Amino acid sequence: MNQLFSIENIDEVKPKINQEIENLRNLINKYDFEYYNNANSLVSDKEYDVIFRRLQDLEKENPEFASQDSPTQRVGGKALGEFNQIVHNKPMLSLGNTYSEEEVADFDRKIKEALEETPYQYVCELKYDGVSLSVKYENGAFLEAATRGDGFKGDDISANIKTVKTIPLKLQSEILPEDLTFEVRGEVFLNESDFIRINEQRVENNEKLYANPRNLTAGTIKLLDPKEVAKRQLNVAFYYLDSEKILKSTHFDNLQFIKDLGLPNSPYSKLCNNLEEVFEFINYWDKHRSELPFQIDGIVIKLNSIKQQEILGFVARSPRWAIAYKFEAEKAITKLNNITLQVGRTGVVTPVAELEPVQLAGTVISRATLHNYDFISEKDIRVGDYVEIEKGGEVIPKVVSVILDRRPEDSIKFEFPTYCPCELKSLLIRPEGEANYYCENPDCPSQLKRRIEHFASRNAMDIESLGEKNVEILINQGFIKSISDIYELKNHIDELIKIERFGQKSIVKLLAAIEESKKNPLWKLIFALGIRFIGEGASKILAKSFKNIDEIAKADKEKLISINEIGEKMAESIIRFFKDEKEQILLINLQKSELNFTSDSYSFHTKSLILQDIIFVLTGELNTITRDKAKELIESHGGKVSGSVSKKTNYLIAGENAGSKRTKALELGVRILSEQEFFEILKKD
């Protein structure tokens, strides 16, 4: 191998490498800002990927030039053990709410009286239905991010917020003063399209749906694994700036300065000269809010002058100079024409309301979920009823209530059908303790279609060109009767070309994607198999905990539940899947097709079950072992590690500087162990 650089010229080369790294970072930051803030693609995805990989390679080969504000560091590092606390420089206060124009007028009257007729202006902003956030920058670099918490201190969510691509890790603005430390506050939120995408995945995984984008956002920013946060595609809109060096005279100027710095903020804010203009803004967005890609639940009205804000000050935990006008949830009344059943890939049968089409929140609604039979029974929903539907905090329309005084006299109480709606008419069952009915016939065409779609989906085997329409055609034409038939399509090229939608180019593309899918890691295959209760996260855990598919198939319940985050229900589902003769045949056929059955991320085998069913919490600084190693050690002996102390906690392992968790353990009577005492327990094995 030729030596690229000699010792003599290395000092000349290193500065050039450092400069190239800086140039690439600046270029990627520029592309990211334009793409995520202005919806403007300056380069193709392929060009972007080439540049990004070049930067990754250079940073890996030259670790001395590593930087926390590099765009490559947005999603990196290990999962967090817990959140530290950050004390806010100024309290993060909440706003007083109002629900009528009369109350807004009363707010304006109090402003006028307090300012003694001095002229004033308002700034009206959209009230994003998200979660409050504080971010600090130091000398142009991202420093830390925190939740609102109790208003005085919040959780340090810096690692999670770094994954939000609209937030620059290093500011490029020419207007940035030197040695500037400042804070911006805003709202973290999810676009409705991303919320729907995530819920659709959960439906396929037979997981509980998230209620609305705000709840999902709140849960996302508190996840302990930044890599999982990155998948949710959060957004941020900043609306507040605080710095000793930047002394703007008005709030509207501060909003413009935030934008000039390259930070994301709302493009919809408006400067209003009087109350009439405020009401115009409120009424416009009350009518047009459904046109936005995200949810808002009202309008925020603020005094524009910073000096006048200071004059009015605060009352309790709210500013006197600002108020929130809250919109009512959007509702409509329509007729329920029918209740139909939808069969998912795991056999779960979901009732759907077929509605007389009605306009709601900017879209025509003709269907709404009815969740399950219990939901229908509790609200006594019947075919022929007039029902009220809404899209408040919910993206997916839901039936709120029945208009009983419009119920037909011949109305009949709805009974859940006995048989599956597919042509096989298989018996539906409802397992004890569950809300859902299931079709347990694996030959059910509806299930097969959904299973194939799931198997080929992006987060599973990622087989491009095998979408919903093509799957339906291939099933109807008899080419696919099982998942394993996907890998036999290469034997039917001449027949496939005769199908109307399948030209030679599309077939070549499809077969190439199928062949490429064989290289996927084991966790993707586990997820693609569609085992009930086993989503992406659980699939990754299984791939890390076992060497291959065979070991998972042989694992008993005791072995499975000894793995952190694999519960009894999941373990029973895994065992049931691998005992099923048809699934065994499927796995044999997939193995013959040379799919990857071996884990490349296997981390440990359970060494013993001495700690089985024992729940530990780790806190403080451990001296002889890292927290990650301690967690791995506990799990390898069958124990579980939780992030918080509760009545279910058996032991708290406390290192130096143990804080609130130690206090909580003392309050609940949880036994506290030192590192040495913990190791003594393991010696008993």
Is the pTM above the cut of 0.85?
no
Mean pLDDT over 178-206 rounds to 84
Mean pLDDT over 263-291 rounds to 94
Please give the mean pLDDT across all residues of the chain: 86
Q: Which residue has the higher pLDDT, 619 or 8?
A: 619
**For residue range 377-413, what is the model confidence (pLDDT) as tens digits?**
999 999 999 999 987 556 678 898 999 999 999 999 9
Residue 5: per-residue pLDDT:
43
* Contact criterion met (CB below 8 Å) for 133 and 236: yes
| Rounded-to-integer distance, Cα 32 and Cα 171, Å | 12
| Rounded-to-integer distance, Cα 64 and Cα 136, Å | 25
- Determine what percent of the chain is predicted with pLDDT higher than 70: 92
Residue 6 has pLDDT above 50, yes or no: no
Closest CA to 617 of 670, 684, 679: 670
| Rounded-to-integer distance, Cα 134 and Cα 117, Å | 34
Question: For residue 300, which phi and psi values (nearest 5 degrees)?
Answer: -100, 130
Residue 385: per-residue pLDDT:
96
Residue 45: per-residue pLDDT:
64
Residue 20: per-residue pLDDT:
86
Tell me whether strands 153-155 and 651-654 are parallel, antiparallel or unpaired: unpaired
Residue 79 has pLDDT above 60, yes or no: no
Residue 646 has pLDDT above 70, yes or no: yes
| Rounded-to-integer distance, Cα 226 and Cα 79, Å | 7
- Complete DSSP assignment for 88-110: -SS--PPPPEE-SHHHHHHHHHH
Residue 2: per-residue pLDDT:
41
Residue 1: per-residue pLDDT:
37
pLDDT level of residue 40 (50, 70, 90 thresholds): low
pLDDT level of residue 369 (50, 70, 90 thresholds): confident
Q: Which helix (H) or strand (E) holds 661?
A: helix 660-668
Mean pLDDT over 150-163 rounds to 90
pLDDT level of residue 212 (50, 70, 90 thresholds): confident
Q: Which residues are catalytic?
A: 127
| Highest-scoring range by mean pLDDT, 32-46, 598-612, 636-650 | 636-650
Residue 269 has pLDDT above 60, yes or no: yes
Residue 679 has pLDDT above 70, yes or no: yes
Mean pLDDT over 442-468 rounds to 88
Least confident of 64-78, 94-108, 316-330: 64-78
DSSP state, residue 382: -
Give me the domains of the chain, ranges plus CATH numbers: 10-73 (1.10.287.610), 97-326 (3.30.470.30), 331-438 (2.40.50.140), 445-519 (1.10.150.20), 522-592 (1.10.150.20), 615-683 (3.40.50.10190)
Residue 454 has pLDDT above 70, yes or no: yes
Collect all residues with Cβ–Cβ distance below 8 Å to 231 and sequence separation of at least 6: none
Least confident of 59-63, 73-77, 211-215, 650-654: 73-77
pLDDT level of residue 467 (50, 70, 90 thresholds): confident
Within 10 Å of residue 540's Cβ, how many Cβ atoms? 20
Residue 306 has pLDDT above 60, yes or no: yes
Mean pLDDT over 562-586 rounds to 90
Within 10 Å of residue 16's Cβ, how many Cβ atoms? 9
Look up residue 577 and give its amino acid.
Answer: F
Least confident of 113-122, 198-207, 673-682: 198-207
Residue 643: per-residue pLDDT:
77
CB neighbour burial string for 383-402, b if at least 16 within 10 angstroms, e if fewer = bebbbebbbbebbbbbbbeb
Residue 8: per-residue pLDDT:
47
Residue 418: per-residue pLDDT:
93
Q: Which residue has the higher pLDDT, 516 or 196?
A: 516
Mean pLDDT over 282-299 rounds to 92
Residue 137: per-residue pLDDT:
94
Residue 11: per-residue pLDDT:
61
Residue 613 has pLDDT above 90, yes or no: no
pLDDT level of residue 665 (50, 70, 90 thresholds): confident
pLDDT level of residue 35 (50, 70, 90 thresholds): low
Residue 458: per-residue pLDDT:
84
Within 10 Å of residue 111's Cβ, how many Cβ atoms? 20
Residue 4: per-residue pLDDT:
42
**For residue range 479-500, what is the model confidence (pLDDT) as tens digits?**
999 999 999 999 999 999 888 8
Residue 3: per-residue pLDDT:
43
| Rounded-to-integer distance, Cα 652 and Cα 86, Å | 24
pLDDT level of residue 572 (50, 70, 90 thresholds): very high
pLDDT level of residue 7 (50, 70, 90 thresholds): very low
Mean pLDDT over 446-467 rounds to 90
